[in-house]
Chain A
Amino acid sequence: MTQEQELTEFVHLSMPLTGFATYDLYGTGMAKLYLDTAREQLGADNLTGFLAAWKQVLADRGGPERLTPTYREVARALVYLWYTGSWPQLAPAAHSALRRPGPNAEFVASTSSYAEGLVWRSFQGHPAGAKPPGFGTWSAVPPELPSEQQLREELEAANEDPPVTPAAVYDAVGYGADLPSAGVPAHLLPGLRVSRSIPPSAVPSAAVAPAAAAPEQKQVSER
């Protein structure tokens, strides 16, 4: 595969992970940097292995629940990278399974990646400290957000013909589809940082996941 093909595949396979269409992903100007960052952090073999596995899952009309735990964590790291411009701290189990030689620490990919994070666009905002919207804009009614259905359609439309990724949108039936509509549960929201030296990717959730908490009422730190 040429470098260009590899980049195309990386971006197209990122679409169902991030929920952003390929033109938004290319539009960050960070695609090449993120591919390089992922390769450097995971090792070329791990990255290739993940992309192949994810492609197969999508071809089988599945979702991230079909990935191995380690590859699921890789998928999350890539989303975090696209959403924040930073490489995150991984679950220790995934870090060791990947046999990463470097430290398991969060870092910003480059001086320009921070301002290209997609998280700000998820609420139609702008990065704190960049792309300012103008005087007094903070007084306006927050803009309406597109529905999940609209986003799905946007992604489907962005998939090329013939498609590079087998599916622009992963099948959410098995994964993350049955959450209450009023708001996501507390275990998917951030909780208090015990200190400010905790990087954002390592902040514990506001609650322990119900399934994990139920079997044995564990009193453990989520650090």
Chain B
Amino acid sequence: MTVTTTGAQVNGRRYDVIIVGSGWAGSLLGRQLGRQGWRVLVLEAGNPGTETWPGYQDSLDTFNVAPIKVPNAGYRPNRAAPFPDVLDLHAVPGGYTSTGHFVQTGPLPYGTDYIRALGGAAMHWLGAVPRMLPEDYATRSLYRYGRDWPLTAEQLEPYLQQAERLIGTAGNGAEQHELGVVPERDYQYPMEEIPASYQDGVFHRKLTGKEITDPVAQLPYTPKVYTLPQGRNSTPNPLFDDGRGYRPVGAVGLPNFGERCVGNASCTPICPVQAKSSPLRLQQDFTDSVHVATRCVVSRVLPGRGSSVRGVEFREYSDPAAPVGTPYTAEADIVVLAAHAIENAVILLSSELANSSGYVGRHLMDHPTFLAWSRMPQAEPIGAFRGPGHTSGLECFRFGSGRKRRAPFRIEIGNWGWGWATGAPFSSVGSMVGLGGDAEGEVKADGLFGPGLRRRLGDELNRQVQLQIAVEQPADPANRVTIDPQRYRDGLGNPKPILHYDLDTRVRDGVYAARRVAAEIFRALGAEDFTDYRVRGDIPPLGHFRHRPEGQTEELDLGFHGAGHGAGTHIMGAQRATSVVDSYQRTHDHPNLFAVGCGSMPSIGTSNPTLTMAALALRSAEEIHRELTSLHHPVTAARQPVLEAAQ
């Protein structure tokens, strides 16, 4: 049972730890520290509601009536704690415009969103939890690009295992060992892997033994289909935990429900049965020493004596439609920012803290995602629009010396047809029936109706193949978050994030390689390639660019989408001059201020970053526990908030 409180109630109170944000990172920290007896205050800027069954149904209704089912379709806008939406970006002649929470100034749009609500962006995540490759932690040493971590995969291993347990992961340990990301040969995930889709099987049959040449890396690859570890309830693994097994955790607010995925095929934006894991599961098991206050927007961290921090200043609002807030403060021995990479950067910049390196806000990253789509031959349906968003991938392009020539990429085999690229299946209805008019706005002549429409639509939708290819983006100081409080503030008066974003040549080379590889894969499948990023008229698609890597003869029209993997902004490193936090995510400048989350990651490889972020949060929780233990005095005594710098 979660203990909830209000901003007014905690005003002026003192806690052991204040955690800003209730997403995965904040919730993992809250759980761990609460179980060790520490008094924790979790401040969430967004709305509560999803933690109850009726509240969750309300999100489902919001999703149902959204005409465009984007990741945030289940969540209403919040003027007091605004958040970005992919619908904020518009293609216009010659480029793009951005409305909403982000101010965008870069040559290319940052197409990634998040949610400010209880549970954070994890409320709309897909649930993909692949591990990073061991080599991803040291790209600078191995491949001469990006930044090395002050940590290795080996050091993170126990925390990764703990994160897989707490998230509730379904995966195939032996397969992941063979892939090279799990060191133990007989590693057991809590649950058996989510079954591969029928389409995954088609890929396996048609691609096994086929050699695919990446013309940019100038290397041959033999793709193999691997199932994806997912934070989604599957069949419990009886061998987990030395034979003690695993009890899946289901829906929050409705017992014994959602304990196994039933194939709603809507993981992003929302899993109706909550078989997809979310931080709400952790929150319902918070101990009583953890207090959660929602609709409390932290505006800044308060400086304390010396280099320490004292607490936070925040505004509590009651109506998300009317951004009027009452200012309060709360104090703690340790302050943890866990508010998303971009929001963490805004809070640090507003507070003018932790930025002696000048690196706060820099190195903003994402996984630029290239979509490729094709149509299978008529007698070979792949059964699109069934099951979780993706259940298997092609992993070989992530590894090895090809990374010296272009950014690596991971190929997701999409299970939802041409949905992401074209808006199928609804856009398929519109196109086939001939809706919407021609270029002049006149009613079109062609179109199908009746049994012909029904039959051919079903046939076409059954054959839609889409690859979602996530390309690694290395940390680039030029990609950054800044603020300009004089010019850009949100409804509550907090600075809006200003983003400057671009893709460097290495990433563009990677996208180019992804395009060529996708064409080869489609050829091997016998599928007809429909991928098309050409500019029609004067409006380029969002994220469009033309590119020709060195040594290639053909220039291609390419494009990318945001993956929702916001990272960088307060990256970790051993040197305080060139990084913001240390390997425990403690800011170099302030011994009792932590900035946790994907913002700390110096590189994100080609893996969805949640699992790595969760492992880092668990490691930070241990460190914070050690800190608190070492300085803790009887709770009745007034304590000095000053900590020794733990260098």
Contact = CB atoms under 8 A, between A and B. Distances in A.
Interface stretch (B3-11, B117-125, B538-546): B538-546
B264 A130 contact: yes
Contacts, number: 348
A212 B444 CA distance: 9
A182 interface: yes
B264 A19 contact: no
B530 A79 contact: no
Given A73-B443, A128-B69, A176-B452, A197 B90 contact: yes
A139 B201 contact: yes
Contact of A88 (B264, B430, B453, B461): B430
Given A184-B456, A221-B539, A119 B87 contact: no
A192 interface: yes
A76 B447 CA distance: 9
B65 interface: yes
A27 to B, nearest CB: 15
Interface string B396-433: 00000000000000000001101001111111111111
B447 A138 contact: no
A133 B262 contact: yes
Interface string A115-149: 10111101111101110111111111110011110
A211 B88 CA distance: 36
Contacts of A175: 449
B528 to A, nearest CB: 8
Interface string B439-459: 111111111111111111111
Interface in A31-65: 63-64
A143 B260 CA distance: 23
Given A128-B264, A145-B459, A219-B537, A212 B438 contact: yes
B159 interface: no
Nearest to B448: A176
A177 B452 contact: yes
B261 A188 contact: no
A190 B418 contact: yes
A190 B433 contact: no
Interface in B508-542: 528, 530, 532-533, 536-542
Interface stretch (B126-134, B341-349, B374-382): B374-382
Contacts of B439: 208, 218, 220-223
Interface centre among A80, A89, A204, A219, by most B CB within 10 Å? A204
Given A91-B437, A189-B460, A201-B436, A194 B91 contact: yes
Given A138-B195, A203-B422, A90 B435 contact: yes
B263 A199 contact: no
Contacts of B456: 148, 179, 184
A91 B449 contact: no
Interface string A73-99: 101110110011010111111100000
B279 interface: no
Interface size class of A (residues with CB under 8 A): 35 or more
Nearest to B544: A194
B312 to A, nearest CB: 35
Contacts of B538: 221
A176 B432 CA distance: 10
A218 B423 CA distance: 25
Contact of B422 (A110, A125, A169, A193): A193
B443 A69 contact: yes
Contact of A209 (B67, B425, B444): B444
Interface string B355-396: 000000000000000000001011001111111100100000
A152 interface: yes
Given A88-B435, A190-B430, A203-B430, A122 B454 contact: yes
B427 A201 contact: yes
A162 B363 CA distance: 72
Interface in B28-83: 60-61, 63-70
A8 interface: no
B67 A107 contact: yes
B450 A18 contact: yes
A73 B90 CA distance: 27
Contacts of A100: none
B450 A93 contact: no
A106 B436 CA distance: 11
A91 B451 contact: no
Given A80-B435, A137-B263, A184-B456, A151 B443 contact: no
A16 interface: yes
Nearest to B71: A196
A124 B196 contact: no
B539 A124 contact: no
A138 B386 contact: yes
B537 A223 contact: yes
A138 B87 contact: no
B595 interface: no
Nearest to B425: A119
B90 A184 contact: no
B451 A169 contact: yes
A129 B64 contact: yes
B383 A138 contact: yes
A101 interface: no
B273 interface: yes
Interface in A165-184: 169-170, 172, 175-177, 179, 181-184
The 7 closest A-B pairs by CB, nearest first: A221-B537, A138-B387, A91-B437, A129-B266, A200-B426, A19-B454, A142-B383
5 contacts: A112-B64, A124-B458, A130-B64, A151-B455, A179-B456
Interface of A: 16-20, 63-64, 69-70, 72-73, 75-77, 79-80, 83-84, 86, 88-94, 106-108, 110-112, 114-115, 117-120, 122-126, 128-130, 132-142, 145-148, 151-152, 155, 169-170, 172, 175-177, 179, 181-184, 186-206, 208-209, 211-212, 218-223
Interface of B: 60-61, 63-70, 86-91, 96, 195-198, 201, 234, 260-266, 270, 272-273, 375, 377-378, 381-388, 391, 415-416, 418, 421-463, 528, 530, 532-533, 536-542, 559, 561
Given A140-B383, A148-B456, A201-B435, 4 more contacts: A64-B449, A108-B65, A184-B460, A193-B422
